[in-house]
Structures are given as structure tokens and as C-alpha cells.
Structure 1
């Protein structure tokens, strides 16, 4: 028991540092790309292509994680990504940055499904699963609060290129920590003889997972618009990277607050997803219509984002047997990447014509309508069958 707790602690530490290090670049990538000659459209393409590479890697990662284990696919991506981030500091043109961003997106695609699948082995029921995912989310959120401030200050003090050196070396050190201290989790629960590996087609056609996946897409579309638009304030309004880092921290504080409410894990994860998506839609609607200040709107977006993230992972593990967790989390990560691809690409193209916030609100409400109708119709059918 004590050994299992120690092993789980190592996973949390690794995930915290990965979130911290990766989030450092959030306030500096857009101005860095603009500095070396990338237009707003090209920056959108960079983010989209990186997410497309990430999506491709997610789909490849799922079966490999289930077959060959989790630790390997946590350690190697960290080494590769650290090297690629160091290379970011050496580029002199936008084309090279695009290539590095794409390769980095593909390498990191293996990390999240492997880490979530490994963490899912430390829960005996849905409530423990929700708590583990919430703790992981809290640590990631603390990182997301601190990291933009660090990234913004580093960008202002030592420059964008030197900041990428720091990011790369930190990831390589985290990879070394993983290699020496992280252990593969052995599943204690015996598999039934009748159980069969769950394939992608079965996962995609499960009713509950269908709801989870399209909700995840809408969530990440809205999130992607924020990730694109807020750093672009440094280009359009001449704000410092330190200021945009502070704005991201407001979003992180909201996420931290909602993740700290552990009693929420007692509620049905699908209901939490519907509530969280509705809150994100209303928050971005208020942002679009200037009903709230930017900092308060970002705080609320972060709050509802924090409600959705653990619910998403819990809904997946509730619906899928343990031998299919790698594939399921791979698809979930691919859906996240797809949401980022579409949002980054569309935002880069339309931002001078239509408000990206309005488009994000429209997509969120459309998905919310479909999900709400499907879910509540299913509940009504279940009640009717009970009679």
C-alpha cells in the first residue's frame, strides 16, 4: 500500500513538472513566432499543424501503450521534446519553427495517454478515479498559474530564445527523473477470460463515450481560442509577455478553485460535463459582449474548464474496461488535439472578419444542444424501460 502511494506520488510529480515546463511557453510562442516573421495566419497554421501531428500520435499511442506499457511512452517523449525545444531557440525563420512545432506535437502525443492510463491503475472505483484525476488537475493547474508568470518574466528578462533553452533542459531533467523513479503499474484485478481487447470502432460507438468526445471537442475549441487570442495581445496592443502571463494565471486560478471542490466528484460525470460546457459558453459570451472584464471572464472560463477535465477522464474510465484505457485516453487526447486544430486554424483565418469568441460560443452551444438532447433522451428511455 505504501509502495503504491509512493509510485503514485512519482506520477503526480512528473505530471506537475511536465505541465509547469510546457506552460512556460504559452505567453512567448506567439510573439516569438511573430518576431521571426510569421503572420497571424501562419501562427494559426503552426498551432493547427502541431495539433494535427499530436492527434495522429494520440491514435498511434493508444494501442502501443496498452501493449508495451506506459513508462516507456512517458520517458522517451520527454527526452525527444526537450531536444526539440532546445532546437526552437536556434531557428531563424518561420518555416523551421513550423517543422519543429510539428515534430514536437507528434512526440508529446504519446505522453498524456500513457500517463493517464498509468494513473488510472491506482483507483478501485469511480470516486477514487475522480479524486486522482482531480488531484492531477490541481497540480497541473498550480503549474498553469505559476508557469505563465515564469514564462512571461523569462521572456522579458532573458529573451525568447534563451527561454526555450531553459524549457528544453528542464524537460530532459524530468525525463531522467522518470527513467529512474517512475515504475510501471501492475494491474491487480484479474481479467476475465471472456474479456476482449476493446478496439477503436467499439470505443467510438459507445453512447456515453460519444457524448464525452464531442463535449471534449467543444471544450478544447473554446480553450484553443483563448490560447491563441490572449498571447496575441502582445502583438496587437503592445502588452508585455509578463502581462499576458498574468492573464493566463487568472484562468489557472479559476481552474484550481473548481478542482479543489472534491465533493463535485460525487455527481455523475456526464452532468458535470454539461454544466461545465454551459458555463464556458456563457463566459465566452460575456467576453464577446464585453459584459465582464478580460481577467474575470478568463477566471470563469478556467473555473468551468476545471469542472470538466476530471469529469472527462472519469467518464472514460467508467465506460471502458482497464485493458482498453490506453486506447480510450488516446482517442480522448486526439479529440482534444482536433479541437485545438480547428480552433487555431479557424481563428487565424477569421479573426480579422468575425470575432473568434462568437464562433467559439456558437460551436459550444451547438454541441451543448446535441449532448443535452441525447443524454436526457437516454435518461427518459431508461425510466420508461424501468416502468
Structure 2
């Protein structure tokens, strides 16, 4: 096996284990916060604040990754996050949990842009890029199928606090793994001394990236509604964390199926994003009108996520040079965080008055209309190849 393939295997393995470990907390955070005395508004504040911290970290990490390399910003966040997750298990009140979650979100915000930039160095064109992103997505979804079940079971068997201890210790082990096996592939980055340094403003002015970021915001707003509402069933309806974990697994299975269709990477990523967002809106419309059960709704939403997320990553790499990947992925992650911030806050405020799923449908259709209009005015991007 070639050395580059071995290095690529290590980053795939790292991302799979990270997704597996961190998704374990999905079914337990909301009931754990409620157990510590947090109200529904407080839980919404926790989710919004953590996403705001994540947004700040996303914007900071882009230039740092482009300048200092990716491996450092994969290993260090894992180390710090491991200790912070362990601290989650020692918290005694909702305020402390809010602070810990916010700090942890800021730390972990450095991880994903660095990892996406890392894996983008192993592809020479958009089709290979799409395939790599799909593989990352498939591994993540396999983890997301298993992890909620594990998290729900652990929460029931050993308690919420002890589950956070397990998560923290596991992250420390994977941090050590990255120290030993991950190798930064800097040789693919060709720096031209005569060119002007890239700035965030340049990234934001790209018409292609504007389409990606608008789509990403809408998708993550919808995702935020699901992330908030599904775990809250354990509080409102007395559903066990085990069953909540099973519901999340339906969405992961749908995403895994759509990611397995590698032939779709032959199609334009912007069009794939628009189709995925449209299908999300239609799924929401059918669901809040009562024509679709929750498991089937989550399954179809998973399929839509599988269409949009790899397409967004592929569109980013095709719109900018490799020297700008860190900034572009950093902004993309920040937009994702912003979508979650707005979604969590709005959902917490309106859920007693109007269905959050209906509002998510309106948001999705509004952004889809804007994206469709801008797409007609945006020239086709010229793909950046590695010479």
C-alpha cells in the first residue's frame, strides 16, 4: 500500500472514531441538563451559546490552519476536549454545564475545519474530492448509527455523568493516536510568494461560496430543530434515552444509504445541494401535516443530509485554491454553527406557540428561493487542479 494511502487511512480512521465517541452524548445531554435543573429555555440557551462559541472558533481556525498546518489543530482540540468532557461528569448545576459546554464547543471548533482541510490534500479534482468527503460521511454515519444506541444504553446503565467520563477518556486515547499516526501532507500546498495573502473577505466575496454558505445555513437550521426536539422527547413524553438513540439512528441510516451512491458525485455539487434542501423542505411539510411518522421522517431527512453535506464540501474545494481551504472550511463551519445558534434559540422560544418544524420549512423554502435566484446569476466555477 502506498504511503499516501496509509496516511489517508489514518485520517479516515481518526474521523470515524471521533464521530463515534462524540455522538455518544447525543441522547443524554438534554435529559442530563434537565436533571441538573435546566428549563427548556435554558437548554436552548446552552445549545445556542455553545454554537456561538463554535462559530468564534471556526472563524479563528481557518487562517491558523493555512499557516501552521492541520495536524496540530486536530490533536490539541482532542486533548483539551477529553479533559472537558470528563469535567462534564463532575458538574453540579446547569450553569456549570453551560460554561463547560461552551468552552468545549470553542475547542472542538478547531477540529473539523482542520480535518476537512487535511483530507482535501489527498484529491486532485472535484470528483476525487467528492468521493473522499463521501467516505468521511459514510464513516461518520456508521458511527452515528451505532453511537446513539451506545449512548442511550450507557446513560441507562451507568448514568449520565459516568457516560461523560467514558467519552472524555476515549477522546484522550484518540488524541494520542493522532500524535503517533497522522502526518500533515504539506507538500501538496504550493505557496506562491508573488501572490497576495488570502483573507476571509476574499472568501466571502466568492459567488460560488455564497451559495454554499446560504445552503449550509438553511440545512443546519433544519438540523438544529431536529437536534433540539428529538432528545426533548425524553423530558416531555418520558421516552427512554435508549429509544431516543434509536430515533437518531434512523436518520443516520438514511444518510449512510445516500452517501453510498458514489455515482451522484458526477453531478454538479451546487445542484445536489439545492435538491437536498428542497427534499428536506418537502419532508418537513409532509411531517408537520401528520402524513409521516417520526422514524420515516428522520430516515428521509438523513437521505437529504447525505445529498447536501458532501456536496457542500466538494463545492468549497472547487471554488478556492488549496492555500485558501482552511479559511473556506472555517467560514463554512462558522455558518453551520450560526444556523444551529439561530435554530436552537428560535425553537426554544416558539415551541409552545407554533411547530418548530413548520418554521424550519419556511426558513428552508425562503433560502432555497434566494439560492435558486443567485444560482442563475453565478458563473460556473473553474475547478482548481493540483499540478
Q: Under a length normalisation based on structure 1, what TM-score does the superposition of the two structures give?
A: 0.96
Name the counterpart of 2:306: 306
Name the counterpart of 1:27: 27
CA positional deviation for 1:373: 1.3
CA positional deviation for 1:376: 2.5
Instruction: State whether structure 2 residue 36 is matched by structure 1 residue 36.
Output: yes
Instruction: State whether structure 2 residue 285 is matched by structure 1 residue 285.
Output: yes
Name the counterpart of 1:206: 206
Name the counterpart of 1:145: 145
Name the counterpart of 2:347: 347
CA displacement, residues 48-86 of structure 1 (integer Å, 9 cap, x when unaligned): 000000000000000011111111100000010010000
Name the counterpart of 2:98: 98
Contact 1:197 1:323 (C-alpha < 8 Å) held by counterparts = no
CA positional deviation for 1:194: 4.6
CA displacement, residues 335-363 of structure 1 (integer Å, 9 cap, x when unaligned): 00000101011111111111110111100
Give the distance between the partners of 2:107 and 2:116, measured in 1 at CA. 16
Distance 1:335 1:189, change over 3 A: closer
Name the counterpart of 2:77: 77
Instruction: State whether structure 2 residue 115 is matched by structure 1 residue 115.
Output: yes
RMSD over equivalenced CA pairs, Å: 1.2
Name the counterpart of 2:6: 6
Contact 1:251 1:300 (C-alpha < 8 Å) held by counterparts = yes
Structure 1 window deviating more from structure 2 (369-378 vs 65-74): it is 369-378
CA displacement, residues 184-243 of structure 1 (integer Å, 9 cap, x when unaligned): 112336445554332111111111111100100000000010000000000011000000
Give the distance between the partners of 1:173 and 1:81, measured in 2 at CA. 12
Contact 2:207 2:378 (C-alpha < 8 Å) held by counterparts = no
Give the distance between the partners of 1:328 and 1:130, measured in 2 at CA. 16
Give the distance between the partners of 1:190 and 1:357, measured in 2 at CA. 46
Name the counterpart of 1:18: 18
Give the distance between the partners of 2:166 and 2:185, measured in 1 at CA. 31
Give the distance between the partners of 1:368 and 1:62, measured in 2 at CA. 27
Alignment of 1:1-387 (within 5 A): 2-188=2-188, 190-192=190-192, 194-378=194-378
**Equivalent residues, number:** 380
Structure 1 window deviating more from structure 2 (26-35 vs 179-188): it is 179-188
* Structure 2: gaps spanning 5 or more residues: 381-387
Q: SS where residue 184 of structure 1 aligns?
A: coil
Give the distance between the partners of 2:193 and 2:76, measured in 1 at CA. 33
Contact 2:190 2:323 (C-alpha < 8 Å) held by counterparts = no
Contact 1:197 1:324 (C-alpha < 8 Å) held by counterparts = no
CA displacement, residues 243-301 of structure 1 (integer Å, 9 cap, x when unaligned): 00000000000000000000000000000010000011111122211110100000000
Distance 1:52 1:189, change over 3 A: closer
Q: SS where residue 37 of structure 2 aligns?
A: coil
Distance 1:156 1:268, change over 3 A: same
Give the distance between the partners of 1:14 and 1:301, measured in 2 at CA. 26
Contact 2:127 2:266 (C-alpha < 8 Å) held by counterparts = yes
Distance 1:89 1:190, change over 3 A: closer
Structure 1 window deviating more from structure 2 (184-193 vs 307-316): it is 184-193
Distance 1:325 1:379, change over 3 A: closer
Give the distance between the partners of 1:284 and 1:103, measured in 2 at CA. 33
